[in-house]
Amino acid sequence: MKQAHTRQDVVRLELPISVGEFASKLLGWYRENKRDLPWRDDPDPYRVWVSEVMLQQTQVKTVFPYFTKFLETYPSLEALARAEENQVLSNWSGLGYYNRARNLRRAAQIVCEQHEGTFPRDYRDALQLPGIGRYTAGAILSIAYQKPLPIVDGNIQRLFTRYLKIEREPNQEVTEGLWQLLSRMVEDPAVTEDVSDFNQALMEMGALICIPRNPRCSSCPLAVSCVALKQGLQTSLPPPRRRKGIRQLHYTVAIAVRGGRYLLRKNLSRRLLAGFWEFPRVLGRPSEQSPRNFRRLHKLDLKVEQEVEIVTHQITFRRMHFHPLLVSLRGPVPKKNFTWAGLANNNYPIPSYVKKIAEILK
């Protein structure tokens, strides 16, 4: 394999075999081994779009029930565009990374306003939509409209890192080199006609065969030409990334219950869990200062009755420790951004850590 630098310092990557041979091995394997996934029955752009957004940062087996339920609730792009944001977030609850849901709904509205309700066929138009980057645009347009566009995600990058034996630490130049290699590959007539299957086959290979630990090389259709396998490097590539440290955060949470309903507060921040309804919480572990902190931050006058078991919940690189306190209220609750609600109420999107705490209280 040859690796050289262009003037833009993008690593130029080359296949060890012809594109035609690569595609034929890959497609042959895919057609025999592809999984039966609900979004594969009907490659309608809306269905492909929802599946691709849900699959970002989330595994197929987790997405499965959410995808089916979401499509039942919002069977068309128009139905999603008309939905209230709160409802969409509720239906997304448990999948995490809620900006994906906000962007999906907002983009559906733009598609209705500017593209007559049909996902745009033009790559540049697709990239204008919120939440759509070049991976998602390439995936939707290649799978739903057979446009010869490349896709590179973490799984595909890992596959090529081994197949081509890229020993450098993953960086921008290598990733760009891979985008360029795949752009050239999808332009090849051996791929262009089958680009939908070709891209899905790469995804499937990364998910089933060239998996993060212990790749299944004995079942790999590309094994004969895999450079890492030839040199016994298949388990040591890609080189490990330096891990970002996990941040530990502690919150004191006030739980007031009235007639089977909980006091919830809308999260008005622009960051973590924005727009969700949560138990009122303040930063830090419970202490004698806690009632004063709730008064200052939430204008709630409360008395601590009992401490409850801690609930830990991890979101990306934050490990959040919630210290619930059962409380009684000694004064009125502010009208704005507070409500009393049951946790099954779909009008209020509720994050999963709140549901975990409520389970403990049962």
Question: Which residues are near ligand SF4 by CB under 6 A?
Answer: 159, 162-163, 209-210, 215-217, 220, 222-223, 226, 228-229, 234
Q: Within a 13 Å sphere around the CA of 325, how many CA atoms are in the beta-carbon half?
A: 22
Residue 263: which H helix or E strand, with range?
strand 261-266
With contact defined as beta carbons under 8 Å apart, do 324 and 311 qualify?
A: yes
Judged by CB, which is closer to ligand SF4: 95, or 209? Answer: 209
Judged by CB, which is closer to ligand SF4: 73, or 157? Answer: 157
Judged by CB, which is closer to ligand SF4: 33, or 103? Answer: 33
The Cα–Cα gap between 338 and 351 comes to: 16
Residue 264: which H helix or E strand, with range?
strand 261-266
The yes-or-no answer on residue 52 being catalytic is yes
Judged by CB, which is closer to ligand SF4: 60, or 217? Answer: 217
Q: What is the DSSP letter of 38?
A: G
Q: What is the DSSP letter of 193?
A: T
Among residues 256, 248, 247, 261, the alpha carbon closest in space to that of 308 is found at: 256
Q: What is the DSSP letter of 16?
A: S
Shortest separation between residue 178's beta carbon and ligand SF4, angstroms: 14
Shortest separation between residue 183's beta carbon and ligand SF4, angstroms: 20
Judged by CB, which is closer to ligand SF4: 104, or 229? Answer: 229
130: alpha, beta or left, given left = phi > 0 and alpha = psi -120 to 50? beta
Shortest separation between residue 220's beta carbon and ligand SF4, angstroms: 3
Judged by CB, which is closer to ligand SF4: 172, or 219? Answer: 219
* Phi, psi torsion values for 225, nearest 5 degrees: -105, 10
Among residues 267, 273, 252, the alpha carbon closest in space to that of 337 is found at: 267
The Cα–Cα gap between 88 and 90 comes to: 5
Shortest separation between residue 5's beta carbon and ligand SF4, angstroms: 24
Shortest separation between residue 171's beta carbon and ligand SF4, angstroms: 21
* Residue at token pair 């409500």: 339
Of 14, 21, 52, 85, catalytic: 52
Shortest separation between residue 18's beta carbon and ligand SF4, angstroms: 17
The Cα–Cα gap between 334 and 339 comes to: 9
Judged by CB, which is closer to ligand SF4: 138, or 215? Answer: 215
- Between the CA of residue 253 and those of 188, 268, 289, 309, what are the distances in Å? 58, 16, 13, 11
Shortest separation between residue 228's beta carbon and ligand SF4, angstroms: 5
Q: Where are the alpha helices (DSSP H) in the chain?
A: 19-33, 45-55, 60-73, 77-82, 85-92, 99-114, 123-127, 134-145, 154-163, 172-187, 189-192, 195-208, 227-230, 290-298, 352-361
Residues acting as catalytic residues = 52
